[in-house]
Amino acid sequence: MPELPEVETVIAGLKPQITGAKLVSVSNSGKNLRYPLPNFSILLQQHIQSVERRAKYLLFHFENGQTLIWHLGMTGQFHVLAQHQAKTKHEHVTLAFTDGNTLRYRDTRRFGYAGLCRTNDLDQHPWFAKLGVEPLLDDFSDDYLQNILKTRKTSIKQAIMDNHVVVGVGNIYASESLFRAGINPTQVANSLKPKQYALLVQHIKTVLAEAIEAGGSTISDFVKADGKPGYFAHSFQVYGRDKQPCLVCKKPIEKIVLGGRASFFCPHCQPFK
């Protein structure tokens, strides 16, 4: 599933191509995504003012004060193509603009979904109302993390993957951040020392920033808006490296399951402290 760096990468590719574009028509395949598609008519003849991200959602802000919200699900992809280019398999929504371009949404498994909301009401929308802070902003600090986890008895890995705590730290980036911070993923969330919270916040920010710079990770069907893969997977130090030697100490990487998700770590470099 595309995570925060992947969504940020998609947005970076879309911004220069569709910002300022005027929407003239919307067509679809007749198949619903995870939820029924919204009524796009309120967006017709409106310009896209900006494209942003909140958590794993893409936000298309229109000049009439409406925002089109989109989640990519497991296999969703956006591509900007000329109107004359033929439709391809699994292409479910096409937004056409006056400049002759179209924004095409493809989704093999149709787990993605879209919605509409007044831009000024986004914080109260059910999809956003209970979300935690953005990890790349100053609001996400060691003091914040220590305070919000002070009563949490779950594992630290599950805690930082909880979108009510902090958004966008998916399975890959949680594993990589914990490794860099030297924290065992099974350690109880409220048992970390102040220095560990500080290290973890620092490495979450660094790992996500590096992943964005690399264009995300090519996992399953993820590609950038230009159709090219992301390259952060080449930097994985523990994720997906079960039984392979640790790049630091050469001891074998271990794989366990936490909260139903595969977790990779080095017992030697990530001991309990």
CATH number of the domain within which 44 lies = 3.20.190.10
pLDDT at 41: 96
pLDDT band at 3 (very low <50, low <70, confident <90, very high): confident
In a domain, 172, yes or no: yes
Q: Do both 151 and 104 map to the same domain?
A: no
Burial of 172 (0-12, 13-18, 19+ CB in 10 A): buried
Q: Do both 152 and 256 map to the same domain?
A: yes
Q: Do both 11 and 60 map to the same domain?
A: yes
Give the domain range for residue 18. Answer: 4-124
47 in helix, strand or coil? strand
Query: Length of the chain in residues, anyone?
Result: 273
Chain-centroid distance, C-alpha 103: 20
Please provide residue 2's backbone torsions phi and psi, each rounded to the nearest 5 degrees: -55, 135
The residue from 90, 124, 158 where one domain ends is 124
Q: Which residues are catalytic?
A: 2-3, 56, 261
Q: Which of 66-70, 121-125, 220-224 is predicted least confidently?
A: 220-224
Give the DSSP H or E segment for 50. Answer: strand 48-54
pLDDT at 119: 98
Q: CA distances (Å), 83 to each of 3, 16, 70, 96, in order?
A: 29, 18, 21, 7
Pull the structure tokens for residue 108: 């093999």
Q: What is the DSSP string of 231-261?
A: BGGGG-SSTT-TTSBPTTT-PBPEEEEETTE
Work out the number of other CB atoms within 10 angstroms of the CB of residue 229: 14
Q: How far is 93 from 88, CA to CA, in rounded Å?
A: 11
Q: Do both 70 and 146 map to the same domain?
A: no
pLDDT at 224: 40
Output the average pLDDT for the chain: 91
In a domain, 195, yes or no: yes
Q: Do both 109 and 188 map to the same domain?
A: no
Q: Do both 117 and 189 map to the same domain?
A: no
Q: Do both 159 and 45 map to the same domain?
A: no
* % of the chain surpassing 70 pLDDT: 93
Mean pLDDT of 61-90: 94
Q: How many domains does the chain have?
A: 2
What is the Cα Rg of the chain in Å? 20
In a domain, 255, yes or no: yes
In a domain, 273, yes or no: no
In a domain, 137, yes or no: no
Q: What is the pLDDT of residues 205-251, one digit of tens each?
A: 999 999 888 876 544 443 444 455 444 454 789 999 999 999 999 99
The CATH number covering residue 178 comes to 1.10.8.50
Q: Do both 167 and 91 map to the same domain?
A: no
Q: Do both 244 and 177 map to the same domain?
A: yes
pTM here is 0.88
